[in-house]
Amino acid sequence: MATQLVNTGCNDGTVKTTTTTTTTVTTTAPGDGFDSTFNVEAQSFADLQLLRYQVPGFKSLSLQQKKLAYYLYEAALCGRDMIYDMKSKHGILLRKTIEGMYGSYKGDKNTEDWKKLEAYCGRFWFSNGNHHHYSNEKFIPECSFEYFSAVVKGCDPAMLPMQQGEAADAFLARIKPMVYDMKFEPKVVDQRPNIDNIVNSSNNFYEGVTQKEVEAFYAKFDTKGNAPSWGLNSKLTKENGQVVEKTWKSGGMYGAAIDKIAGWLQKASAVAENAEQKQALDLLVKYYQTGDLKVWDDYNIAWVKDVNSRVDVVNGFIEVYLDAIGKKGSFESTVSIKDMEETKRIEAIAKEAQWFEDHSPIMKEHK
């Protein structure tokens, strides 16, 4: 069993919801380091309940392991801009806008309108953009555009992503459809039948290309045997009328962010817990530097072989839920540490797996 330290990235966007309830129940033995008075409820807004949690196991890590966890944590944070950009080509612009509004507005923050705007900011940050983390549908602020505009004009202009010489009114006119128009980028993933799912999805994996063009482009790749997941780490667009692939790698698309990720991963490799973990991290760095999907496969094989490390990481373009045709991986990263006590409990249950199957109330042919 592992305790999660940080999670950055995508969500499975397959279920439409109107209410989300999150409950955490922790059972611990005396003396394990948990504070029974700790309040896990951090904040609640819209359909979200945010929880805090303790990681007492972190205290038992060696200094080397703590350094490893920290370096992997920093590597995760360096991918933040990528997931916003992947969900919408306007994602970073809008995030910088609401961050500037939230951080520099000097007006009254006790009004109902401010609370509505604050809730919108929370939803935006939680979902890495202005599309619901499950339904994929666009959401807008509950406050009026007039109030939104007043807040923008009450902010420090230096904190807003305005173009050089752009007036506040011009900036607001530019971003209004991005924020308030439900017909503008209405759904990040649109998988309705009998439509062009690429054109109708508002994610930023494709630009200026149709679904037929995308399918024709990848139909040329060899998919036999252990072929890589072609297209996993790239954007497809057009240049001079030709479909081209822009790979996410050092020196390529997202190169600046990827270089930072690779830099922190190299620091992590230097304090790896064992040879297996170091090999996996070195392969992950090589993958980010080259964009070679065969190296990505080699990394995953090496990662699976490392069963002894206490600090673990998932980092890369992995889940394809945000792509309507399931090719492009969204950036995500999770850093976790192995909970030694919970691991013992799970191992004890696992050893009795055959007994549970033998005595389960299911049909014999299903056992």
Residues 248 and 114 in one domain: no
CATH code for the domain in which residue 219 is found: 3.30.540.30
27 part of a folded domain: no
Is 243 a residue whose pLDDT tops 90? yes
> Averaged over 156-166, what is the pLDDT?
97
Q: What is the mean pLDDT of the chain?
A: 92
192 part of a folded domain: no
Residue bearing the bigger pLDDT, 33 or 102: 102
Last residue of a domain, which of 136, 154, 180?
180
107 part of a folded domain: yes
Cα 133–Cα 134–Cα 135 angle in degrees, nearest 5: 110
Last residue of a domain, which of 147, 180, 213?
180
Residues 82 and 98 in one domain: no
305 part of a folded domain: yes
Residues 145 and 262 in one domain: no
Residues 236 and 362 in one domain: yes
Of 171, 170, 206, nearest to 188 (Cα)? Answer: 206
Lowest mean pLDDT among 52-56, 132-136, 243-247: 52-56
Residue 307's pLDDT is what?
94
Residues 97 and 74 in one domain: no
Residues 70 and 139 in one domain: no
Residue 23's pLDDT is what?
36
* Reported confidence tier of residue 56, pLDDT bands at 50, 70, 90: confident
Residues 248 and 169 in one domain: no
118 part of a folded domain: yes
> Averaged over 243-256, what is the pLDDT?
98
Q: For the chain, how many structural domains are there in total?
A: 2
pLDDT digits (tens, 9 = 90+) for 302-355: 999 999 999 999 999 999 999 999 999 999 999 999 998 889 999 999 999 999
Residues 276 and 221 in one domain: yes
Residues 212 and 281 in one domain: yes
> Averaged over 153-179, what is the pLDDT?
98
Tell me the Ramachandran region of residue 194: left when phi exceeds 0, alpha when psi lies from -120 to 50, beta otherwise. Answer: left
Of 343, 316, 238, nearest to 78 (Cα)? Answer: 316
Residues 264 and 366 in one domain: yes
Residues 203 and 337 in one domain: yes
328 part of a folded domain: yes
Residue bearing the bigger pLDDT, 329 or 16: 329
* Reported confidence tier of residue 174, pLDDT bands at 50, 70, 90: very high
Residues 71 and 146 in one domain: no
Structural domain boundaries enclosing 159: 90-180
Is 16 a residue whose pLDDT tops 90? no
Is 15 a residue whose pLDDT tops 90? no
21 part of a folded domain: no
* Reported confidence tier of residue 12, pLDDT bands at 50, 70, 90: very low
